[in-house]
Amino acid sequence: MDDAEKDLIRSRSTRFLSNHHSQRFRAQEVLAELAAATPSDLVSDHYGMGALIGSFEKEIAELLGKEAAVFMPSGTMAQQIALRIWADRKHTPHVAFHPRSHLELHEEKGYQVLHGLHGVLVGPATRLFEVSDLEKISEPLAALLVELPQREIGGQLPTWDELGAIIAWARARDVKLHLDGARLWECQPFYGKPYPEIAGLFDSVYVSFYKGLGGIAGAILAGDSSLVAEARIWQRRHGGTLVSLYPYVLAARAALKARLGRMGLYHERALLLAERLATLPGVEVLPRRPPTNMMHVYLRAERGRLEHAVMSVARDTRTWICKAIQGTSLPDLSYFELTVGDNTLELEVDEVAALVTDVLSRAAPR
């Protein structure tokens, strides 16, 4: 099945297992909703300056308990800039992060090619890194990047005490701490701490407005005033000061207002789904008890057969299960990512279990 056919099946779907309504709408619907919510006298920003973008940056800085913040088009830009600043200040190119970090997997080595940084991979790829892994590092580090939660291993989170030990290790060595908080919003129910207390552990913080919230695009880099002032210079060097960013800012603000207060609800549903799915034959969930609203659902079936089964179920039930099936090192074990959002809440737990059972049945060898 080619991409065009998959896109057609998705466009005809009326129910979706993951994420939010705004992430399934056609572009016209998204823009119409945004236009309807926009005051008629709103003045757009100009190259990142103006009351609209300035007030939003201030709002997020206060939400995170930071002195200042800068809105950027992407998290890739924000994180590379933060690490570059810390490396320049420390006069060392070494920055550390998990082997499954976004920087290592999805950015074509941008930190290395664009900024001359040396990535130090910490711990094994299959679990969260620990202090014992950090103690094996021999290079002098400028910064340590911590991702909360660690998306590529199922959204795992360290406990508050484990996180505190990592922070203490870095502080004792004068290593700057950067938070990859693409999904920081989803962590709050697990930690039970206010956002300023979580973000306050770190010298710089990146948050996304589309991954967990359902905005169009955009990110914030927050920290002290000197960091943000320098980051604005780097943003211009990256070509990130677009002539207007207001559509992204408006969508980010709307998504934040609509969904920040629902993170606990999403997490509660994730716990129920994980518990139910784990009872199904041929299904495993990682983490078994999700600390956030995301998980990886492992299915005992070959990847290609699962891909066809997922499309078959979507075509027949008009329910979109996932956008991709991922393979593993075992030929008969595959998985997909499930992120609980507004879409998920429209499906009963038993409905989801029935859908997954149907997928496995269709994927079974005949």
**In the predicted model, what is the mean pLDDT of residues 341-364?**
97
- Find the length of the chain: 366
CA 46 to chain centre: 28
| Whole-number average pLDDT of the chain | 96
How confident is residue 25, by pLDDT bands cut at 50, 70 and 90? low
pLDDT tens digit string along 272-311? 999 999 999 999 999 999 999 999 999 999 999 999 999 9
Q: What pLDDT score does 1 carry?
A: 75
Q: Do 45-243 and 3-25+262-363 fall under one CATH topology?
A: no
How confident is residue 26, by pLDDT bands cut at 50, 70 and 90? confident
pLDDT higher than 90, residue 31: no
Q: How far is CA 349 from CA 190, 229, 275, 352, in A?
A: 21, 47, 10, 5
Q: Are 330 and 316 in contact (CB under 8 A)?
A: no
CATH number of the 3-25+262-363 domain: 3.90.1150.10
Q: In this prediction, what percent of the chain has a pLDDT beyond 90?
A: 90
Q: Are 53 and 249 in contact (CB under 8 A)?
A: yes
pLDDT tens digit string along 198-214? 999 999 999 999 999 99
Pick left, alpha or beta for residue 344 (phi over 0 → left; psi -120 to 50 → alpha; otherwise beta).
Answer: alpha
Q: Are 10 and 318 in contact (CB under 8 A)?
A: no
Domain ranges within the chain, ordered by starting residue: 3-25+262-363, 45-243
Q: What pLDDT score does 127 carry?
A: 97
- Give rounded-to-5 percent helix, strand, coil for the chain: 45, 15, 35
Locate the DSSP E strands across 59-112: 68-72, 94-97
CA distance 88 to 111: 13
Backbone angles phi, psi at 16, to 5 degrees: -135, 140
**In the predicted model, what is the mean pLDDT of residues 50-74?**
97
Q: What pLDDT score does 216 carry?
A: 94
pLDDT higher than 80, residue 35: yes
The verdict on domain 45-243 having CATH code 3.40.50.720 is no
Q: Are 162 and 61 in contact (CB under 8 A)?
A: no
pTM of structure: 0.96
Range from 5-19, 26-40, 83-97 carrying the lowest mean pLDDT:
26-40
Backbone angles phi, psi at 174, to 5 degrees: 55, 40
Q: What pLDDT score does 147 carry?
A: 98
pLDDT higher than 90, residue 23: no
Q: How far is CA 300 from CA 89, 129, 249, 303, in A?
A: 49, 28, 42, 9
**In the predicted model, what is the mean pLDDT of residues 132-139?**
97
List residues bridging with 319 in a β-sheet: 15
Q: Which of 126, 171, 144 is nearest to 79 (CA)?
A: 144
pLDDT higher than 90, residue 37: no
Residue 314: in which H helix or E strand, if any? helix 303-317
Q: Are 291 and 156 in contact (CB under 8 A)?
A: yes
pLDDT higher than 90, residue 121: yes
